[in-house]
Structure 1
Amino acid sequence: MRDTIDFGIDLGTTNSALAVLDGGQVSVVKNNLQGDYTPSAVWLPKAGVVQVGAAAKSRRERDPDNVQIEFKQAMGYVDARRTFARAGVSMTPVELSAEVLKSLRGDAARRFGEPPEAAVITVPAAFALNQTEATSEAAKLAGFSSRCPLVQEPTAAAFAYGFQNESRGAYWMVFDFGGGTFDSAVVSTVEGELSVLHHAGDTGLGGKNIDAAIVSSLLGPAAAKEFGLTNLAADDPRMVRITAVLRAAAESAKIALSSTEQAQIMTELDLGGGAPETFEYTLQRADVDRLAMPFYLRAVHLCREALANANLRPSDIDRLLLVGGPTLAPGLRELLADPSDGLGIELDHSQDPSTVVARGAAIYAGTVALPRAKVVPKRGEFSGVLSYPVTTSLTTVPVSGRFETPGGADWSRFRVALSDSRRQPAYRSAEVALTAGGAFTLDVLLQERQANRFDVELIDPAGAHVPVNPAGFTTTHVVNEMQGQAVVNSMGLTEADGTFTPMLMKNRPLPAQATQSFFTTASVHRTDSGSVIRIPIAEGEFRRGERNKQVGLIEIKAQDVRRDLPRGSEVVVTFEMDQSRLVSIIADVPLLGEQFDAEVDLSHTPVPDVPALRRQLNELEARHEQLRSEIETTRSDRARGLLARLDEKGTVAAVRAEVTSSTNDEGAAVAADERIRSVQAELDDIEEELRIPDVMARLRDQIEHCRELVESVGSAEDRTELADIERRYETVRDTRDVAAAERLSDRATDLQVLLLRRDGRLDEEIFHALRMSQDRMTDPARARELVREGDHALNSRNWPALNDVNRRLRALLPPDQQGSGFDGIQRGEK
């Protein structure tokens, strides 16, 4: 019986693989065709018949209407479905993934005689919460009886490369270019601990992008010219069948080009005119390298981003660990080895790139104990609860435990030892006496780099060995101890001003908890049924909340409170995330003595709407060009650099391609939505860079005005506040943080208002501003009367009367100019 999960599955976009840790050694579990990996393809030739793997993939060219591939990216989206025409059924990406998992589980059953209870399943590092939750749901549908832990793909790859590897004090980088996703991770082996320092990824970047480019740029135009086809666009439903055949041919030829300079394509195209037409094309490696280069460069940029966030440079990295089938391409390897355009890090391709993630998942699975129900002994039987490290880099480790038996026993007369008769020579620990409560602690010596199986010897007062459950346990010695998982994407809340405040930061070790106080910017009145405070919960790394993905909501409603909640009330928000990224979020309101749970419903996330994506693309491209024009006018070197970096990555072109493909591909729609928000966030940065001179100039003028006012009417407290504003001004001038400068400007405005009110000039300035707006007021005649009244109050220096005139004038402003409250919370003081 296994103590740990031991099985690891790489659930891939293109291919999936299963590995197992057995006796301290990891191996790939071959499928029924004796292959190391199984294509992530499902074929339904008729209702009730399901084929998975190579049999399904081989049908893609001949029967594309009844074969589904590349469904991984659409997992977690409630309305994503794939249709099998002949069978007359449709399946969700979760159900399709479950079929792939069933197939792999069946492979394990054939090798070991029974299917595994659980497996560690890998997910891309950039997968959102709804996608990881969907992966867990697929595992349940596949028949796993125990919970299946998830591990990020680059982390699993690092575990595989680091397993029993004596390299210490080194830094590695994982370069995982898969069929549909890309992940990079910076890995440390310092002090014998294998840990991921930082990662960056793209769930819409992979080998399938290259396949699509080959079809759209080479095969499609050649077929169109040869057979007189007018449209081979990805969004033309009439050409879906032809495009599918060409995509399959492109993928096969691309793989062949890893070992040859050119590959011959010969395939049959059904043009709807009866007999299929034979299409031939000679694909050159140089052409594929040219088309693939933008995707390679996007991956390199992500690697540099991960390095920068880890405060490292390429020269600090000892090895670049290659993962994923596309890394076999000579052109990609040449680019990565180039220190100028690539990374210039020594390449390590010692592991099979197609199975290394599964192997790493199995290694991690060897550290996760299988859940076992506590055995309640019958009279005369003995059971124990043991505590020991499942894996360790130490050679001597403590083991503790406690025994029990119905009716109890005089435990102080019992002894215990741990033995391993499989060793040469056999090993047995020292015997130790149990405590009066049946507890013990002793040390055992491990064989290095092996799974050490110990038998538990419980010795009664007469010196006889009595059977005990469990009879033994296994602890594995490893060179580099694997650390736990980390937060994949920052999670936090969006404040009333639209700012995203992360609570659980990206790369923080799991499990994790964070608590922070906020203050309401609106009131909740029990008598007002529409009164509510909404606190959006988001996942992502962008400063503006709208750029991140909203995953939940906290609502404080009038009907849920026992008394009124005034503006400025404290709300204490707590985030918790466990090892499997299950999230709990609670908002505690001390004034009410009540707690409010966030509603995090990830099961109803819709696929992004294609027409909406097209509109967003048009807006993005227009904004991109507008900012380009502004940069030329302002000649901001920093803004120009940010724009150049954006253009160099080719992300705007990538969005355009994904939006085009999204008509027939939910995964492309998901990727397009993510990338649009990402590009808009980069344009936000450029826009802020263009705004910073004006904001800083305004702030300088405010500070100068405050100095004059403080000199005439300021108190010691006012001088202290002005000194702090001036000090913070120096900081924002260096950091060029527009948001911080705007907040500081708000503080300067508050100080100006306070000082102007003190010397009577505030009402005067407000009156002059309202006078300028009198013709736009709702009752211009009444406004003119009030202005005359205000002139009289101003001339007589009657400040209370002027204040009253201002109040009545303000009431005549159009509703949209009178100001409105905020709905939410913010940091800071009440």
Structure 2
Amino acid sequence: MRDTIDIGIDLGTTNSAIALAEGDTVTVIKNVESQDTTPSAIWMPRAGEIRVGAKARTRVENDPDNTAAEFKLEMGLADVARNFAKAGVKLTPPQLSAEVLKSLRDSATRFLNGEAPTAAVITVPAAFALNQNKATVEAATLAGFVPGSPLLQEPTAAAFAYGLQDTSDRAYWMVFDFGGGTFDAAVVNKRDGELRVLHHAGDPYLGGKLIDWALVERLLAPAAAAEFGLTDFQRDNRIHRRNFARLKAAAEEAKIALSGIDSTSVLVEVDTPGGDTETFDYTLTRDALDRVAEPYYVRAINLCREAMRENGLSPDAIDKLLLVGGVTLSPGLRERLADPAEGIGIELETRLDPSTVVARGAAVFASTIRHPAPLAAAPAKGEYAVELSYEPAVTTTTTTVAGRLRAGRDLDWTGYSVVLANPEGRPPFRTANIALNRVGAFATEVDLDERRTSRFIIELIDPAGAPQKLVPNTLSITHRTETFGGARLAHSLGIQLADKTFSPLLRKGAGVPTTAREMFRTSHTLLRRDDEAMIRIPVVQGERARATRNRPVGQLTIRPVDLRMDLPSGTEVEVTFEVDASNLVTVVADVPLIGAQFEAEIDLTSVLTPSSDVLTRQLAEAEGRFEELQRSAELPDVDDRLRRLEAEGTLPTVREQVRAAATDAGAAATAEDRLRDFQAELDDIDDMAELPRRTRELLDLLAEAGEMVQQAGAVRDEQELTALREEAQHAIDDRDLGAIDSVAERTVIFMARLHRRQPGWYEDAYWSVVQQPGLLPPTAEADRLVREGREAINKRDQRELERVVQQMIRLLPRDERETFIGLTK
């Protein structure tokens, strides 16, 4: 068995690839058709027969009822399954992906002369959500790989592949990964041999598939409908399912062809309602393709700019733009990327095949990870076992190897020794005899060949000097000039609170593996006798303050059966998030009140496909908001943001995906994600439009506070007001609406404290609460406080009145309590 995993797989939307790293060589393993990539397509012509790859891909357009392709976009959706009519079976996206992985694994087995890989590093988009990553792990297990095969983000894998070719000591790179279904941008830093991903930005539903469908819906389908007099010729019309499958395949082929020529003929057999078949002939030019693809290019470029901006870098600071994914073969896209004004203006790096570079990088990474060891068994009679501890890949030419020997019986290892030897080293290497301690442990340093894999043999010698059989008796360590600085979270991760705000526990860019914990309070009482009661806490990924504008990835549920007593409202619950190196998450909830800790699983199987009806309503709402903002926009910043949304073609794309949602789960997921982002953008634009009014309100508050300080303020009040004015100016200069609101809230609190010093204020507060019916809860405590307050007023007992009012305020609803917030500080 291999010491390191060595196998890397790019599980792609359109095509997949597998590579093997051995020493300083990376080989892309060809499939049975002698191709570097395998189409991610499945065909089941009959029960028990599954075809994967090119043969399946050619059947998609003519046999859509028995084929499946582009199912990567449906990973993580719990209610999706593709039906294969002739076979009479349904397969989920993880099951479909597993068939692709099995095919790649079979190719590797042939290449390795019958040695079937048992583990692999599998790549995922950096923009993938938790449920999508979990579905990928499930697919790997179904394909026969050991449970827990590592995941690696695609732009990180690409950086590894390029890093193997690059000899510079220090550099900044931007990975531009535009694949068939997803887009990722990543800023990567190489410093003194360490590769570190600094920042991610991406879109899990921006890929070549969208460009293909845009060509169909905006050019090919309208032309075919006009030529043959077809009515209701829409993608969601099941009558024309075969026609649209053919048009989609032809659009993809034409797009690929236009990477090398200026125009191409699109020839498609179109079934007409009368039962005839007509040949549709359309000339597609590169210019027409670029016009259709323009919004998708713009969005990808904007995401790159966002990644650089959030990391404080300009294009001048980036040395190379690493091109990854089939879409980057487009000359139109490459010309735009090289343009400093319209694109990014960073030198393009094109030395490696963009279709296989991710698999190559995954293999390089796989060679740095020790192969998962099988469950330890007692050594056979006459054999000894060793458990080793070492780094399989290092950047130094000397490293430490430690180990502990085991026998099938209790044994004092005093007098035993081991020798580590690399007879093929340059020069050959051999240690002296290394004495074992009483429990069989040892540690030693070994020398490595530079930029090669050193393979060591371990010899065990008994006290009499006789060699003994040791299992395993080999290990391999690779010397590399670069190392991986660790994976990072591509999204902030946290929970949705009762008020619909997002509380991130882990911030975007945090290194993984990592752990974070935070204390929360329950928003309502949980009674054990209520079988239907439960606390549901949505788990979301994203960067928006409004949780509903982020991507839901699961749900944390606490049920009465998990508890041994009732939980009153406000009970503390400590939530701990643990993220492993593959970005897979577990959660532990601790309830101190009952002294119990229990694992609360995130249900990643609850993410469902949005219905077309819901998406249609959401689209109408978004369109209405967009039109209203267009009519009312007065600020240059608002106009700029609106124009950006138009340039990215957000609404046309969403409309097309919503129309297709009824028949295409991938389109539904794309539409939902785009609508969520679109609404979040509109939220930001709303905030920008609010800036002038909220700024005026803050300045008015500060002016009023200034008058109060002049009339009755102390020196410390003047100092506090000066600090508030300075913070307000910073917030206004930064055009930060959140900061403006924060300063305004603290100014109100400040004014309330000034105001309560005025004679009669507590009495006014008392009567303002008492005289509003229903403001206080109908409890004995409230009745008592009302009575005690009236007595304090009659007795002119100011201190007693202050105490009563303070306690009354605590009984008020939260929004009303904030009116008197100055009293409770």
TM-score, normalised with respect to structure 2: 0.88
Q: CA 1:658 to 1:436, structure 2 compared with 1: closer, same or farther past 3 Å?
A: same
Distance 2:412 2:528 in 1: 64
Instruction: Write the letter of the residue equivalent to 1:444.
Output: V
- Match for 1:646: what amino acid? L
Q: Does 1:55 pair with 2:48? A: no
More displaced stretch, 242-251 vs 640-649? 640-649
Code of the aligned partner of 1:671: T
Letter matched to residue 3 of structure 1: D
Secondary structure of the 1:33 match is coil
CA distance in 2, matches of 1:655, 1:245: 22
- State the 1:520 CA deviation: 5.7
> Displacement of 1:660 after TM fit?
2.2
1:27-76 Cα deviation digits (max 9, x unpaired):
11111111111111111222222211111111223223322211111111
1:625 to 624, 627, 630: 627
After superposition, the Cα gap between the structure-2 partners of 1:46 and 1:714, relative to the gap in structure 1 and judged at 3 Å, is same
Kindly indicate whether residue 457 of structure 2 is the aligned counterpart of residue 455 of structure 1: yes
Q: 1:699 to 1:763 in 2, by over 3 A?
A: farther
1:686 aligns with 2:685: yes
Task: Specify which of 525, 540, 543 is matched with residue 541 of structure 1.
Answer: 543
- Decide whether aligned partners of structure 1 residues 527 and 139 sit closer, same or farther in structure 2, where only a CA change above 3 A counts: closer
1:539-618 alignment runs, 5 A limit: 539-554=541-556, 570-595=572-597, 597-618=599-620
Distance 2:105 2:561 in 1: 50
User: Could you tell me how far apart the structure 1 residues matched to 2:313 and 2:449 are?
Assistant: 36
State the 1:386 CA deviation.
1.6
Closer, same or farther: CA 821–8 of 1 in aligned 2, 3 Å: farther
Change (3 A) 1:424 1:714: closer
Instruction: Using the TM superposition, give the Cα deviation of residue 412 of structure 1 relative to its aligned residue in structure 2, in angstroms.
Output: 4.7
**Could you list the runs of 5+ residues in structure 2 that have no partner in the other structure?**
774-791, 818-823
CA 1:404–1:564 in 2, change beyond 3 Å: closer, same or farther? closer
Is the 8 Å Cα contact of residues 194 and 482 (structure 1) preserved in structure 2? yes
Aligned to 1:825: none
Within 2, Cα distance between the matches of 1:771 and 1:630?
Answer: 43
- Contact 2:173–2:187 (CA<8 Å) still a contact in 1? yes
Q: Deviations over 1:353-399 (max 9, x none)?
A: 11111111111111222222224335653322222111111111122
Asked whether the 8 Å contact 2:401–2:445 carries over to 1, the reply is yes
Q: What's the secondary structure of 1:354's corresponding residue?
A: coil
1:334–1:430 Cα change, 3 Å: farther
Q: Which shifted more, 690-699 or 538-547? A: 690-699
Which amino acid in structure 1 is aligned with residue 68 of structure 2? Q
User: 2 CA distance for matches of 1:93 and 1:625?
Assistant: 38
Is residue 351 from structure 1 mapped to residue 388 from structure 2 by the alignment? Answer: no
Q: How does 1:156-175 map to 2 (within 5 A)?
A: 156-163=157-164, 165-175=166-176
2 CA distance for matches of 1:148 and 1:689?
45
Query: In the alignment, what sits opposite 1:87?
Result: 87
Structure 2 residue matching 1:147: 3-state secondary structure: coil
Q: What is the CA deviation profile of residues 173-196 of structure 1, one whole-angstrom value per residue up to 9, with x for unaligned ones?
A: 111111111111111111210121
- CA distance in 1 between counterparts of 2:563 and 2:170 reads 55
Contact 2:577 2:585 in 1 (8 A): yes
Partner Cα distance (2:359, 2:54) in 1: 18
Shift of 1:762: 4.8
Q: Which residue of 2 aligns with 1:256?
A: 257
Relative distance call for 1:596 and 1:684 in structure 2 (3 A) is: farther
Letter in 2 for 1:34: S
Stretches of structure 1 that go unaligned for 5 or more consecutive residues are 775-792, 811-816, 823-828
Q: Secondary structure at the match of 1:507?
A: coil
For 1:74, the aligned partner's letter is E
Q: CA deviation at 1:567?
A: 6.4
Q: Is the 8 A contact 1:146 1:371 kept in 2?
A: no
Q: Say if 2:480 is the partner of 1:481.
A: no
- C-alpha spacing 1:487/1:451, structure 2 compared with 1 (3 Å): same
Aligned to 1:78: 78
1:15, distance to aligned residue in structure 2 (A) = 0.7
Aligned to 1:455, what secondary structure does the other structure show?
A: strand
Q: 1:462 to 1:169 in 2, by over 3 A?
A: same
1:674 counterpart residue number: 673
Cα distance in 2 between the residues matched to 1:703 and 1:497: 29
Closer, same or farther: CA 73–527 of 1 in aligned 2, 3 Å: closer
Structure 2 Cα separation of the partners of residues 685 and 388 of structure 1: 50
Change (3 A) 1:661 1:710: same
Which residue in 1 is equivalent to 2:232?
A: 231
Deviation at 1:129, TM superposition (A): 0.7
Residue identity in the other structure for 1:266:
L
TM-score (norm 1): 0.88
Assess, with a 3 A threshold, how the Cα gap between structure 1 residues 306 and 525 changes in structure 2: closer, same or farther.
same
1:645-682: CA deviation from partner (whole Å, max 9, x where unpaired): 33332323322222222222111111111111111111
- The corresponding residue for 1:787 is none
Distance 1:231 1:471 in 2: 70
Query: Does the 8 A contact of 2:554 with 2:605 survive in 1?
Result: no
**More displaced 10-residue stretch of structure 1: 549-558 or 1-10:** 549-558
Q: Which residue of 1 aligns with 2:193?
A: 192
Comparing 690-699 with 176-185, greater Cα deviation is found at 690-699
User: Which position in structure 1 is the counterpart of 2:431?
Assistant: 429
* Aligned positions of 1:268-347 closer than 5 A: 268-347=269-348
SS at match of 1:622: helix
- Give the distance between the partners of 2:45 and 2:16, measured in 1 at CA: 22
Please give the alpha-carbon distance, in whole angstroms, between the structure 2 residues aligned to 1:422 and 1:32. 34
- Matched position secondary structure for 1:86: coil
| Aligned pairs for 1:56-205 within 5 A | 56-112=56-112, 113-163=114-164, 165-205=166-206
Residues 416-815 of structure 1: matches in 2 within 5 Å?
416-518=418-520, 535-554=537-556, 570-595=572-597, 597-632=599-634, 636-709=635-708, 725-759=724-758, 762=761
Distance in 1, matches of 2:617 and 2:42, equals 34
Give the CA deviation at 1:232: 2.5
* C-alpha distance in 1 between matches for 2:405 and 2:120: 30
* CA–CA distance in structure 1, aligned partners of residues 273 and 397 of structure 2: 69
Q: Tell me the alpha carbon deviations over residues 194-216 of structure 1, each in whole angstroms, 9 at most, x when there is no partner.
A: 12111111121111122112222
Are residues 767 and 644 of structure 1, via their aligned partners in 2, closer, same or farther at CA, if it must alter by over 3 Å?
farther
Deviations 1:664-719 (A, max 9, x none): 21111111111111111111111112223333333334344445555666678877
SS at match of 2:30: coil
C-alpha distance after superposition, 1:533-557 (max 9, x if no partner): 6543321111211111233445667
1:258 Cα deviation (Å)? Answer: 1.3
Measured in 2, the distance between the counterparts of 1:718 and 1:557 equals: 49
* Whole-angstrom distance in 2 between the partners of 1:328 and 1:337: 13
Return 235-244 or 496-505, whichever deviates more.
Answer: 496-505
Instruction: Report the Cα offset of residue 267 of structure 1.
Output: 2.9
Instruction: Encode CA deviations 1:723-752: one digit per residue, 9 max, x unaligned.
Output: 654454344333333233334433333444
In structure 2, distance between residues paired with 1:797 and 1:700: 38
Instruction: Tell me if structure 2 keeps the 8 A contact 1:523–1:531.
Output: no
Return the offset for 1:622.
0.9
> 1:55/1:821 Cα in 2 relative to 1: closer, same or farther (>3 Å)?
farther
- Whichever residue aligns with residue 732 of structure 2, its letter is R
Cα distance in 2 between the residues matched to 1:721 and 1:533: 42
Q: Which residue of 1 aligns with 2:208?
A: 207
Alignment match, 2:9: 9
Q: Would the aligned equivalents of 2:130 and 2:585 in 1 still touch at CA under 8 Å?
A: no
Shift of 1:487: 1.7
Q: Secondary structure at the match of 1:759?
A: coil
CA contact (8 A) 1:556 1:596 kept: no
Tell me the CA shift for residue 278 of structure 1.
1.9
Q: Distance in 1 between matches of 2:531 and 2:382?
A: 66
Label 1:614 to 1:794 Cα distance change in 2 as closer, same or farther (>3 A): farther
> What's the counterpart of residue 779 of structure 1?
none
1:415 paired residue among 413, 417, 425: 417
Whole-Å separation in 2 of the counterparts to 1:281 and 1:701: 64
Which secondary structure does the structure 1 equivalent of 2:368 belong to? coil
Corresponding position: 1:384 with 2:383? no
Distance in 2 (CA, whole Å) between partners of 1:393 and 1:34 is 35
Q: Which amino acid aligns with 1:621?
A: E
For 2:221, what is the secondary structure of its paired residue?
A: helix
Aligned-pair CA distance for 1:475: 0.8
Q: Which residue of 1 aligns with 2:33?
A: 33
Give, in angstroms, the shift of residue 765 of structure 1: 6.9
